[in-house]
Each structure stands twice: as structure tokens, then as C-alpha cells.
Amino acid sequence: MKLTLNIWRQASTASAGEMKTYQVEASPDMSFLEMLDVLNEELNEKGEEPVAFDSDCREGICGMCGLMINGEPHGPERTTTCQLHMRSFADGDTITIEPWRSTAFPVLKDLCVDRGAFDRIIQSGGYISVNTGAAPDAHATPVPKDNADRAFDAATCIGCGACVAACPNGSATLFLGAKVTHLGELPQGQAERWSRVVDMVGQHDHEGFGGCTNIGECVAACPKEIPLDVISQLNSDLRTAIRKGH
Amino acid sequence: MKGTRGVRTTIALKILMAVSGLLFLAFVALHMYGNLKAFAGHDAYNEYAHHLRTFAEPMLPFGGLLFVTRVVLVLSLVVHVGCAVALWRRAQAARTVPYVVKKHTGATYASRLMRWGGVTILLFIVWHLLNFTIGKVNVSGGPTSDPYDLVVDSFQVWWLTLIYLAAMLMLGAHLHHGIWSALQTLGLTPHARSRRLAKQAAFTIALVISVGFSLVPVFVLAGVIDK
């Protein structure tokens, strides 16, 4: 299949970028990233600078490979970019590929952005403190099934940033909600529950993400299908934290 | 970030918007009920309008209830608009480079209309107060002392009715997303079922209020409500 690609090219964070057009010949069996690999091999042969894009596991679990494809994070399928295949496109299609657009995710080069803001949000409270020493037995603390399920569903968030990329407000609230719900549902997460939510929201705001207006574009873009419920949980936890004096 | 105060976060701004928005909702619901008195005729409508001023007398002075209501509404407006402006500016700063191509998968049209829709409603309220409360403008040139007659004179003018209907469409859209959004912001929709209920309730209330408000202008223009 012959494709026309409009790709954002930007040499570095400080330099200005622009869209450039490329032609590439791909097979429908290729993954989206393999198609970009083909393009880069051709660019290398021609002595041009290859397109920089992020990827790591290429099996949908690490969250590195976020690209804005035709105006949708991770493209038209509800999955990560690496799990998107060229059979989702038609011969002769024009595909526009852009990096995540967020002040908090500065573009490093071409399609690569720095998602360090997410790491700093996690560092601000997305953890539980445990004593060192012998690990307790896994079944030492009972967790009700419903809570365990909800915590696990929220924990599937891979921090890819698609929610931020999709959000018209550039908000990372779905990410925040997933982390706060994941730890808040578990007995081990209770000790730091109220300071966690306030510290994480504070870091989120400090990084320059926008506020949530409950539009729901984040949920439509999330490759892990994190539901809007987690944002309600986040709001509820923050309200409780304020009441408790945080 | 260590040392963050909960009340200094964007979510606190949203909670303020939700609470002030729900106060507006209570007001428009009562306002719509009062408007429908126009179907009961000249005397019933004017008596209702007068009763709003004598409500709870002598515990409250004449117009006491209206005064308290106006104070609460003005304060709510300051809070609602103030938070909206702060969050709007934040959202603009959060994405300074726009996408070349951006789809809005999963967003309702009403949800994308909130900010400019809110501005439209604010401009409408200014006109509405000039029309019926502060300035009392009778666009057909008649007297303005009789509330019922002023309503009939106003909505017999087709373009004025059109302005009001357009405003009610915007209000309906604002409530459609706003009510659900307020419930979500207050943390009342933590599972799929409560979210569905909140969205259905928001749509129903938005429809009832925008249609309820539209009835009087439409029926005046159609000649059913007459002097």
C-alpha cells in the first residue's frame, strides 16, 4: 500500500518545527511503527535525518510509543501505536503524525516528547510506603474482591499520555484518577491516601496541565480503557482530603 | 508536590464551579416555574410577581427574598465566571501549539460549547435584565409598569422571541453538560451506573428547563397568550 505521511519535524526542543510530507510503501501486515521503520531506512539510505519516535516493548504494555495519528492519540484503533496495524488504513491514504501537544510534555525531537512530568507526579505521591525487611505473605492482608478488581483495572494505566494528548484542556486528570483509585482502593494505600491525592494534584497543576471539564475525550483515547469513574473518585478523594485539613 | 493545599488546586476551582452552577440551576428551575404562570392569565402572573416581593413578610421586609436571592446569584456569578476564566486560561497555556489534525472522539457537542456558550448566556443575561428588570425596555414602545403586559408586548416581536429561543438553546446545552459535569466534579459518579444516571438526569433537566422557558415566548408569538 502506498501512503502519504505528513510528519512533524523538529530538530530540538528549542528549535521551531514544521510538517513535512513523505511517501512510503508499506504492507497491511506491518505495525504502524514498522511502517515508520521502513520510512527511516529509506531516509537513512538517502542520507536524510530519520524521523525520531519513541518505542520500547512494542507489545502494548510500556506506554512509550504515543503518537497523534490523524487527530487521534494512538490512531483509529483503541490500542497503543505499536499495536496499530497498517490494515487499519487504506491504500492511498494520507496520514498526519504529530507528537503529543502539551506544555508539560515538551517535544525533544520530531515525535518524541518528554513525559517526565508524569514521573514527577508519581514521585509526589503515587506510591505506598512500606517497611523494609522480610516481605509479608501476599495473602496477609485481605482485600475485598470488588476493591481488588477496581484497583487492578485502574492499575492497567501505562502512563502513555494519550489522555493528555486527547484532552482539549491538556489535562492529565484521567492519569491522576487512575493512580489515586488504584492505590486508594487497597488497604496498603490508606495510610497516605489523603496526602497523596493533594500532593499529586498539586504536582499536576504545577507541571502546567489544564483542568478537567469532564468532556470524556481522554476515555475515548485511552488504550487501557480506564473509565471516567476514576476522575469522580479523584474529585471525591480531594474533597475528603480538604475536609480532613490537607 | 509536597505542601500543596487542597483548596489551592484546579479541582477546588471545579468544585466551586459545580456548587455555584447548581445554585444557578435551582434558580432557573424556580424562574421557569414562575414564567409558566403566564398561562394562568394577566392577574395570576402579576400576583405571582408581586408575591415574590411580599414573600415571608413581615419576617422579611418588602422585596427581602428577592434581595437575598440577588446577592446569592451575584456572588455565584463572580465565583462561577472567575473560576471559569482561571481554568480557561490554564487550558490555553496547557497547549500552546495546536494540532494540525484533531478529532474530538467521545466528546458531546454540548461539552465543547461550555465556554463560549457560557459567554453567550452571560451576554443574554445582561440583555435580559435590561429588558425585564433593571432598564425595563419595551421594544414595542408600550408601558413597562405591568409585568404581564411587558412580557406579551416583548414576545409579540418576532426577533426578540428568536433571541430568547436561541439563548434557551444555549442554556439547554450548557445544562446538558454542566449538570452531569457538576455531579462528576462533586465525586458523585464513581461507577458506570451512577455516571449513566447522572448523564440521563442532566439531559432530562436541561430539556425540561429549556423547553419550559421557551413555552411562554412561543405561545405569546403564536397569539395563545394575549392581553
Answer yes or no: are the C-beta atoms of B165 and B214 closer than 8 Å.
Answer: yes
Under the banding of pLDDT at 50, 70 and 90, the label for residue A214 is very high
User: Alpha-carbon distance B113 to B169, whole Å?
Assistant: 11
Q: How far apart are CA A178 and CA B30, in angstroms?
A: 39
Chain B environment of A235 (Cβ under 8 Å): 11, 14-15, 184-187
**Averaged pLDDT, A74-89:** 97
Q: How far is B23 from chain A (nearest CA, A)?
A: 18
A126-135, B10-19, B31-40, B92-101: range with lowest mean pLDDT: A126-135
CB contact under 8 A, B4 and A220: no
What mean pLDDT is predicted for residues A84-90? 97
The yes-or-no verdict on residue A131 having pLDDT over 90 is no
CA pair distance A114, A116, nearest whole angstrom = 5
Whole-number Å distance between alpha carbons of B109 and B20: 23
Considering only the beta carbons, identify the residue of A19, A221, A235 that sits closest to B184: A235
Distance from CA of residue A198 to its chain's centroid?
21
- Bridge pairing between strands A94-98 and A2-9: parallel
Q: Say whether B101 and A170 touch across the interface (CB within 8 A).
A: no
Taking a C-beta distance cutoff of 8 angstroms, is the pair A223, A74 a contact?
yes
Cβ atoms within 10 A of the Cβ of A191, count? 12
Contacts of B180 in chain A (CB under 8 A): 214
Please say whether the beta carbons of A74 and A66 come within 8 A: yes
pLDDT tens-digit series, residues B108-147: 999 999 999 999 999 999 999 998 988 788 888 888 889 9
CA A68 to chain centre: 11
* Residue A244 in grid coordinates: 480532613
A residues 172-201 lying closer than 8 A (beta carbon) to B: 198-199, 201
- Indicate yes or no: CB of A242 within 8 angstroms of CB of B12: yes
Order the strands of the A72-73 sheet from edge to edge: A18-25, A2-9, A94-98, A68-69, A72-73
Measured in degrees and rounded to the nearest 5, phi and psi for residue A242 equal: -60, -45
pLDDT of residue B151: 94
Q: What is d(CA A206, CA A202) in angstroms, rounded to the nearest whole number? A: 6
pLDDT band at A203 (very low <50, low <70, confident <90, very high): very high
Nearest CA in chain A to B194: A229
Q: Which residues in chain A are classed under CATH 3.10.20.30?
A: 2-106
User: For position A106, what pLDDT does the model report?
Assistant: 98
- Provide, for chain B, the percentages of residues in helix, strand and coil under a 3-state DSSP scheme, each rounded to the nearest 5: 75, 0, 25
Phi and psi at residue B73, in whole multiples of 5°?
A: -65, -40
Average predicted confidence (pLDDT) for chain A? 96
For residue B179, pLDDT beyond 90: yes
Cβ(B37)–Cβ(B225) under 8 Å? no
Q: What is the ipTM of this complex?
A: 0.93
To probe the interface with A, which of B85, B88, B92, B105 has the most A CB atoms within 10 Å?
A: B105
Q: For B191-215, what is each residue's pLDDT tens digit?
A: 999 999 999 999 999 999 999 999 9
The residues of chain A that CATH labels 1.10.1060.10 are 115-129+142-243
Grade residue B30 by pLDDT with cuts at 50, 70 and 90. Answer: very high
Q: Which CATH class is domain A2-106?
A: alpha beta
> Are B6 and A241 inside 8 Å of each other by CB?
yes
pLDDT for position A137 = 86
**Of A126-140, A225-239, B59-73, B107-121, which range is least confident?**
A126-140
pLDDT of residue B5: 94
For residue A84, the model assigns a pLDDT of 97
A243/A193 Cα distance (integer angstroms) = 13
CB-nearest to A68 from B8, B93, B99 is B99
Contact (Cβ atoms closer than 8 angstroms) between residue A191 and residue A128? yes
> CA distances (Å), A17 to each of A71, A75, B15, in order?
18, 22, 38
- Per the CB < 8 A criterion, the answer to whether A166 and A220 are in contact is yes
Residue B189 binned pLDDT confidence (cut-offs 50, 70, 90) = very high
Q: Nine-digit cell at A68?
A: 497523534
Q: What is the DSSP string of A113-149?
A: E--HHHHHHHHTTSS-----SSPPPTTSS---HHHHH
What does the mean pLDDT of chain B come to? Answer: 95
Per-residue model confidence (pLDDT) at position B215: 97
Residue A73: pLDDT band with limits 50, 70, 90: very high
Region A108-120 average pLDDT: 98
Strand partners, A102: A105
Residue by residue, DSSP assigns A20-78 as EEEEEE--TTSBHHHHHHHHHHHHHHTTPPPPP---SSSSSSS-----EETTEET-SSS
A31 in B contact zone (CB under 8 Å): no
Give the chain B residue whose CA is nearest to the CA of A197.
B6
- Is the pLDDT at A134 greater than 90, yes or no? no
Identify residue B8 by its one-letter amino acid code. R
Q: Which grid coordinates are listed for A184?
A: 486508594
The answer to whether the beta carbons of residues B119 and A235 sit under 8 Å apart is no
Above pLDDT 90, what percent of chain B?
90
Domain A115-129+142-243, CATH number (from 1.10.1060.10, 1.10.3720.10, 3.30.70.2740, 3.40.640.10):
1.10.1060.10
* Chain B residues with CB-CB distance to A220 below 8 A: 105-107
Task: Give which of A20, A72, A100, A198 to mutate to test B binding, by max B Cβ within 10 Å.
Answer: A198
The predicted pLDDT at position A136 comes to 82
For residues A205-211, average pLDDT: 97
Q: What is the pLDDT of residue A163?
A: 98
